[in-house]
Structure 1
Amino acid sequence: MGKATGFIDYKREKAPERKPLTRLNDWKEYSAPLPDQTLRTQGARCMDCGTPFCHIGTEINGVTSGCPIHNVIPEWNDLVYRGQWKEALDRLLKTNNFPEFTGRVCPAPCEGSCTLAITDPAVAIKSIERAIIDKGFENGWITPRIPEKRTGKKIAIVGSGPAGLASADQLNQAGHSVTVFERSDRAGGLLTYGIPNMKLEKDIVERRITLLTQEGIDFVTNTEVGKDITADELRAQFDSVILCIGAQKQRDLGLEGREAKGVHFAMDYLSTSTKSLLDSNFEDGQFIDAEGKDVIVIGGGDTGADCVATALRQKCNSVVQFGKHPVLPMARTSDNMWPVPPNVFTLEYAYEEAEAAFGEDPRKYSIQTKKLVADDDGNLKELHTIQMEKVEDENGLYVFKELPGTEKIWPAQLVFIAIGFEGAEQPLLKQFGVNTTARNVVDAIYGQYTTNIEAVFAAGDARRGQSLIVWAINEGREAAREVDRYLMGSSNLP
């Protein structure tokens, strides 16, 4: 701890962001790094706690608290404060395979459980993490690590999202030959096609894929396991298989008018937009275009926010996002105490942009969609809603009650459904013969990752359900260790 009074002497500084109306004219990242000296003072705010809750990495009442990959945050905060960037990078990479991803798109549960956050704004952990890895690439400190020898063991990983990439990286460094199968035309999974460019530019993902390829990992794209190659063929060709297919079965709306033209799943909208941008800068027309249309996003989470930001860049006529819950409080409530991250009102990037473009926050709270209505040609024209009230029933449980007289009709030519996911896609899992749970994810114990099928493992969202990128990396790393142990009898992987 280089400066004992740093948390008193310095205030938290937020990473700078480009002006909302300016960034709506492009698809580049909306945030920018802090200057080196500012980052050093931000590092000085770290208190070097006796028990650093920032890296406990656990779940409290179903909510992630601390860093699931157990980044030893106080150590690299102090190294940054001292200007020892190379040493900070070395320390960061001991626990995190991909800080360039987490430093941009992780919701930073580490900051929510920062001890300083009990009374003051948390240490700017996420900004410091991003700066460390970016400086590593800029200074040429990140170079291919070629394993000195190979074990002769071959491993197939199905899915190239963060869990699959983390498993591949760890197993490759252990000397195994790793092949990653990806059904899309580009590797990266949701890092590539699920997160918009303005949050994570794709050259950042491509840079990491290129590095992993240089280190010896084989990426096979445009290949869907279960169709282009069967589960039996894969098991016959490889010593072990890890299923990292995510939890991409999107939850649907069972409402009247769902079949209207113009009603789409949120992830279909985001993925086609990103693919068209990367392929042709939208010249190919192979995307869902919101230009000039009234857009409604159903679902109040981050995926819905990304839809708002995408529609704004496509020059929509209007955009509204529906959420069933009431507006969040401005400060922690008694049932949301530290070290659980604060569940409070924030103005995320997409909502700030909508305010700048249309003069108001696009979010509408405590609202229930009743039906969708199409015109005579089957094209969506409007959406009907009613307001709800969250009340406590006779059993002490909170339920949502409709409020008569609050019905409203909204003009809409595009609706995006962003109400969550229902687990992993089942056809591939059935072909492998792996057991699944009531939540439609692979039945594999956390920390073990073994399925009921010999030599077949599962990790990431495919096992735990839709979750955070840091949990995916955590599971990918741990599954790699278990596969290494299965193949070799023991493992030195962390």
Structure 2
Amino acid sequence: MAKQPMLKFVTVDRDMPEKRDAEVRNKDFDEIYAEFATVKAEEQASRCSQCGVPYCQSHCPLHNNIPDWLRLTATGRLEEAYAVSQATNTFPEICGRICPQDRLCEGNCVIEQSGHGTVTIGSVEKYITDTAWDKGWVKPVVPNAERAESVGIIGAGPGGLAAADRLRRAGVQVTVYDRYDRGGGLLTYGIPGFKLEKDIVMRRMDQLEQGGVSFKLNCAVGEDISFADIRAAHDAVIIATGVYKTRDLSGPGSDAEGIVRAIDYLTCSNRLSFGDKVAEFESGELNAEGKKVVVIGGGDTAMDCVRTAIRQGAESVKCLYRRDRANMPGSQRETQNAEEEGVIYEWLAAPKGFEGNPVSGVQVQRMRLGQPDASGRQSPEVIEGADYVEDADLVIKALGFEPEDLPTLWGEADLEVTRWGTVKAEFTTGATAMDGVYAVGDIVRGASLVVWAIKDGRDCADAIIDKLDAAATIAAE
């Protein structure tokens, strides 16, 4: 009788890849988790219960075939595991690194619910694809046949790149326009290297370029080229710009020198990792070295900022968040990593104003949680008479992002937006009310997860291919 390769969760404990010591990792921007060895990856994959209704799969936005590639990994069939993983996810090695698995696949693992500890899905996913790159299994896109139709994509972030990959596989001609000098969007300039090393993103960019995707970088729509010209040049256009407008702070002194935007701070740090010279870093404006840093916000961007400041050699790093730990939107795993590295969290604390110019302190209000708001979350309320001042030489605003006013920036009054400023589009296809114009990712959803942008890009590409096929059939009749 063949030995059972799976369901080993009752005899094998959950184990993560080794995490580098906090006192070592907080001095560099290398990823903090080591790679699984083959034996360890097979062992951890074998813990999967192969349940009849895989909640891990149903709670993944991409509905990845997780039980299938776990079984293939456990039985040593790694190239097949990669093929299954890649079939539903354009960038599995990126999702394996930065997806909040604790809220998605791993958080809904059946054996986790039974008290045995979740399967380490993200780490196995990362291992599968990293091995595929090392073994040469990842190839440039080669379509079966080239098509004459072309699609222009505005934005080289995860949504735009996922759509580009899908369209090229169908033989469609693809041009991606992006205002930055490198593709990848927030994968490149937003997420720090200790979560996602930049060569991981750049090799995907190279793969797409080798597969025939044309990139027009340093190209700002509305300045270097008009939206109308892009529409005229292509059979369809996908808007995948993401959301970059920073939610601002109010209160006395909020315009003081030394109060900076998270996106500027993180972009500067990531540019340094490429060897770029950044004037704002050299001047000290976006350099935390030797400073008392206060980051305002409780999302993943705030987590990235505090951990970056630690690595730049800040004297102290504190994070102010107006709710408590249980109600923060950022990953609990990231919060724990940050605390290990020396970050101090001030829960139930919100800024009231700022002292000095350049800034020397943050006026902080103590908060308590009151009645639930419309979303069901308890609303923070000010505790009168409990204010204090937190010393600060550098304040980083990480309060989230909003959409830019694209109709005005691009001179396109017909581009419909919602009351939140996001582009109005069908969630299933990305189609807008403008003929041949689609939108995907955060510019439709608002600030969201990379995995949702990938799903939107893939779904939109499939919808465009279906429409092009239908048009070709009609033309041939």
| Range class of TM-score, shorter chain | over 0.9
**Preserved contact between residue 89 and residue 133 of structure 1 (Cα < 8 Å):** yes
Query: Tell me, what secondary structure is at the counterpart of 2:402?
Result: coil
Query: Tell me, what secondary structure is at the counterpart of 2:326?
Result: coil
Query: Tell me, what secondary structure is at the counterpart of 1:279?
Result: coil
Query: Tell me, what secondary structure is at the counterpart of 2:368?
Result: strand
**Preserved contact between residue 268 and residue 286 of structure 2 (Cα < 8 Å):** yes
Q: Which residue of 1 aligns with 2:412?
A: 431
- The alignment of Structure 1 onto Structure 2 pairs a total of residues equal to 463
1:476 aligned to 448, 451, 457, which one? 457
Q: Which residue of 1 aligns with 2:282?
A: 285
1:422 aligns with 2:424: no
2:86 aligned to 86, 93, 97, which one? 93
> Structure 1 258/381 Cα, relative in aligned 2: closer, same or farther at 3 Å?
same
**Preserved contact between residue 56 and residue 66 of structure 2 (Cα < 8 Å):** yes
Q: Which residue of 1 aligns with 2:258?
A: 262
Alignment of 1:142-181 (within 5 A): 142-181=138-177
Alignment of 1:20-31 (within 5 A): 20-31=22-33
CA distance in 2 between counterparts of 1:280 and 1:480 reads: 34
1:107 aligns with 2:100: yes
With normalisation by structure 2, the TM-score equals 0.92
Report the CA distance between 1:175 and its aligned residue: 0.6
Alignment of 1:188-203 (within 5 A): 188-203=184-199
CA distance in 2 between counterparts of 1:382 and 1:471 reads: 38
What are the superposed Cα offsets for residues 326-348 of structure 1, whole Å, 9 maximum, x if unpaired? 2329xxxxxxxxxxx99868743
Partner AA of 2:201 in structure 1:
V
> Structure 1 23/234 Cα, relative in aligned 2: closer, same or farther at 3 Å?
same
Moved more, 259-268 or 112-121: 112-121
**Preserved contact between residue 7 and residue 48 of structure 2 (Cα < 8 Å):** no
**Preserved contact between residue 249 and residue 424 of structure 1 (Cα < 8 Å):** yes
CA distance in 1 between counterparts of 2:429 and 2:173 reads: 21
With normalisation by structure 1, the TM-score equals 0.89
**Identity of aligned pairs, percent?**
36
Query: Tell me, what secondary structure is at the counterpart of 1:328?
Result: helix
> Structure 1 342/442 Cα, relative in aligned 2: closer, same or farther at 3 Å?
closer
Report the CA distance between 1:404 and its aligned residue: 2.6
Q: Which residue of 2 aligns with 1:41?
A: 43
What are the superposed Cα offsets for residues 400-449 of structure 1, whole Å, 9 maximum, x if unpaired? 22223321111111101111122344334653731001121110111021
Q: Which consecutive residues of structure 1, in runs of 5 or more, have no partner in the other structure?
A: 57-65, 330-340, 355-360
> Structure 1 275/4 Cα, relative in aligned 2: closer, same or farther at 3 Å?
closer
**Preserved contact between residue 248 and residue 425 of structure 1 (Cα < 8 Å):** no
CA distance in 2 between counterparts of 1:75 and 1:67 reads: 14
Q: Which residue of 1 aligns with 2:391?
A: 411
> Structure 1 393/14 Cα, relative in aligned 2: closer, same or farther at 3 Å?
closer
Alignment of 1:301-380 (within 5 A): 301-328=299-326, 347-354=335-342, 361-374=343-356, 378-380=357-359
Moved more, 78-87 or 249-258: 249-258
Q: Which residue of 2 aligns with 1:214?
A: 210
1:296 aligns with 2:294: yes
> Structure 1 394/165 Cα, relative in aligned 2: closer, same or farther at 3 Å?
closer
Q: Which consecutive residues of structure 2, in runs of 5 or more, have no partner in the other structure?
A: 473-477
Partner AA of 1:446 in structure 2:
F
**Preserved contact between residue 2 and residue 78 of structure 1 (Cα < 8 Å):** no
1:75 aligns with 2:79: no
Query: Tell me, what secondary structure is at the counterpart of 1:138?
Result: helix
CA RMSD in angstroms comes to 2.4
Q: Which residue of 2 aligns with 1:446?
A: 427
> Structure 1 282/343 Cα, relative in aligned 2: closer, same or farther at 3 Å?
closer
**Preserved contact between residue 327 and residue 345 of structure 1 (Cα < 8 Å):** no
CA distance in 2 between counterparts of 1:398 and 1:314 reads: 35
Query: Tell me, what secondary structure is at the counterpart of 1:135?
Result: helix
1:118 aligned to 113, 122, 136, which one? 113
CA distance in 2 between counterparts of 1:222 and 1:464 reads: 25
Query: Tell me, what secondary structure is at the counterpart of 1:309?
Result: helix
CA distance in 1 between counterparts of 2:301 and 2:287 reads: 17
> Structure 1 141/393 Cα, relative in aligned 2: closer, same or farther at 3 Å?
closer
